[in-house]
Amino acid sequence: MASGREIKTKIKSTQNMRKVTRALEMVSASKIRKAQDLMKASRPYARSMRKVIAHVAQANTDFVHPFLQERETVKRVGYLVITTDRGLCGGLNSNLFRRLLPVIREWQDQGVEVDVVAIGQKAIQFFRRIKGVNLIGSTSHLGERPKLDSLVGVIKVMLDAYLANRLDRVFVASNDFVNTMTQKPSVRALLPLPVVAAEMLGASGESTHAPDFAVAGLKLEQKHDWDYIYEPDAATVLEHVLGRYIESIVYQGVLENLASEHAARMVAMKSASDNANKVIGELTLIYNKARQAAITQEISEIVGGAAAV
């Protein structure tokens, strides 16, 4: 059995650790409301933009934007991966990587090369260690109120590569905020738009996503062919709208991930604090037993010495 001094040292260190986890839990609890408000405020725009763009992908128009053309052969794909900058948020990032890696390996088994743009320090560190994946761009430390200006650069890297035919498909991988206890990793198509429309329609003509996802409830009707009247012309309108579509989806992914980060950290730190309380209780019990055994031994020695005299 460890000595009383060693046990007291362990109790003290566990108490210090509990102070840290409680502080982190309270910080995340204070920030999660603002993060949820930002996320919920931008959801309607992102959902509407995704639905309109999916309809545009099915429209009949004389002008065909490169984003609307699905390429027959896929030689290289790109992924925009959104993670956190800091750790101590449970399995949030690791669950996303476990969801993403099998998809990447499937492409690689088909001889397709994979490019990655990392948003968040954890994604940057992770993909620097992964062989066979090209990290072509990165950004991090977006703060508690992410700005679209900080994302334009990395988004442009992907769009330029796609327009230059260096990429044949683009996906975005992030965590969807469902509720405080649940965050689900997702990998969704971003380009080309026919793939986005097919992903939303699925095989049954309805949205393939569960009702707790950010894009839940998006349904495309195929009763007639979609068409639009463009002013001043289709090229100008589509160039602007499609750019806003890409930015809105990526920005929404960042906000969803931010809310998921604070929720996951709050839950993880509360669990850590509860475990620390349990450890402190067990160590205190051990310390009391050791102290009682030492007192009993001293009494026995005193009684034995007195009897010998």
Catalytic annotation, pick one of 54, 89, 238, 249: 89
Residue 190 has which token pair? 């971003």
Q: Is 54 exposed, middle or buried (0-12, 13-18, 19+ CB in 10 A)?
A: buried
Neighbours of 116 (CB within 10 A): 24
Using the predicted structure, report yes or no on whether residue 135 has a pLDDT greater than 80.
Answer: yes
What's the average model confidence in pLDDT over 107-126?
91
CATH class name, domain 29-263: alpha beta
Query: Is 89 a known active-site residue?
Result: yes
Amino acid making up residue 39: M
Q: What does the alpha-carbon distance between residue 258 and residue 32 come to, in Å, rounded to a whole number?
A: 9
pTM to 2 decimals?
0.80
- The b/e string for 266-298 (b: 16+ C-beta within 10 A; e otherwise) is bbbbbebbeebeebbeebeebbeebeeeeeeee
pLDDT tens readout for residues 207-243: 434 333 444 434 444 545 566 777 777 778 888 888 8
DSSP labels for 50-96? HHHHHHHHTB--S---GGGPPPSS--EEEEEEE--SS--STTHHHHH
For residues 116 and 127, the answer to whether their CB atoms sit within 8 Å is: yes
Per residue in 239-297, pLDDT (tens digit) is 888 888 888 889 999 999 999 999 999 999 988 989 989 989 888 888 888 888 878 87
State yes or no: pLDDT of 203 exceeds 70: no
Distance of CA 197 to the CA centre of its chain: 23
Contact 96, 176 (CB under 8 A): no
